[in-house]
Amino acid sequence: MAQRSMQAEPYEYTFDPKTTALVVIDMQRDFVEPGGFGEALGNDVSPLQAVIAPCRRMLDVARTMGMLVIHTREGHAPGRGKITIGDEGPMGRLLVRGQRGHEIVPELAPVAGEVVVDKPGKGAFFATDLDHILRNRGIKSLIVCGVTTEVCVNTTVREANDRGYECVVLQDCVGSYFPQFQKAALDMIKAQGAIFGWVSDSTRAVIALRN
């Protein structure tokens, strides 16, 4: 497969779909749906619900093209001691593995052959097999979607950049409870000549992948 180019900021992002993975970060009920961890913290979950449809569009394209798809889930052992994690909610114990709230939202549920990475922290590389999985498959570039933009998405992009992966973050496929953090987190990634990575959107990503 040939090198593709995607319109992006601060400049065009080049990648080969054969060595690129779609990474969908923590699109879990606990962050996205009413009654979960995010809402228990007092947040409005609607900006996160808005990213489900564009994430689905990216999953459909990646699946059609046979690209590697990685889903991540944040989850903790019960009783980890953080405020509200492990507390009882309408979808079970908040952000605890095995509980209903820990599941990926049904619209974006993994299909056979896709990788699900369970992570204990914010970044998807810390204390997980993700780096080995990507290197074993020759992956060099990551198209990043998911929530939240300034927390798990940002941390993962920084970790990936330090490990030599080139990341593009799709702005309509990532969400934050805080509009000011959404903007700042994306600005920080693309500042200083793509210091951590590139920023684009699902429309430009689909054009690049389908061409």
Catalog residues that contact ligand TIU under the rule CB under 6 A.
26, 31, 74, 122, 147-148, 151-152
The least CB distance from residue 33 to ligand TIU, in Å, is 14
Contact between residue 33 and residue 79 where contact means Cβ atoms under 8 Å apart? no
SS3 state of residue 6: strand
Catalytic residue among 30, 119, 122, 167: 119
Pairing mode of beta strands 115-119, 68-74: parallel
Confirm if 161 and 167 have CB atoms less than 8 A apart.
yes
Known catalytic residue: 26?
yes
Work out the end-to-end distance of the chain between its first and last CA atoms, rounded to an integer number of angstroms. 12
Q: Which is nearer to ligand TIU, 151 or 168 (CB)?
A: 151
Catalytic residue flag (residue 162): no
State in angstroms the smallest separation of the CB of 8 from ligand TIU: 22
CA R_g for the chain: 16
Single out the residue of 169, 158, 137 nearest to residue 55, CA to CA. Answer: 169
Choose the catalytic residue: 30, 55, 122, 152: 152
* Cβ closest to ligand TIU, residue 20 vs residue 155: 155
Q: How far is the CB of 157 from ligand TIU (least distance, A)?
A: 12
Answer for the pair 75, 102: CB distance below 8 angstroms, yes or no.
Answer: yes
- Residues of 21-42 as b/e, b for ≥16 C-beta within 10 angstroms? bbbbbbbbbbbbbebbbbbbee
Cβ-based nearer residue to ligand TIU, 147 or 209: 147
Shortest gap between Cβ of 151 and ligand TIU (angstroms)? 3
Structure tokens at 104: 């990926």
Q: Report in angstroms the alpha-carbon separations of 160 from 27, 137, 175, 189.
A: 19, 15, 19, 12
Which residue, 51 or 147, has its beta carbon nearer to ligand TIU? Answer: 147
Give the residue with the Cβ less far from ligand TIU, 6 or 94: 94
CB of 203 to ligand TIU, least distance (A): 24
| Residues with catalytic roles | 26, 119, 152
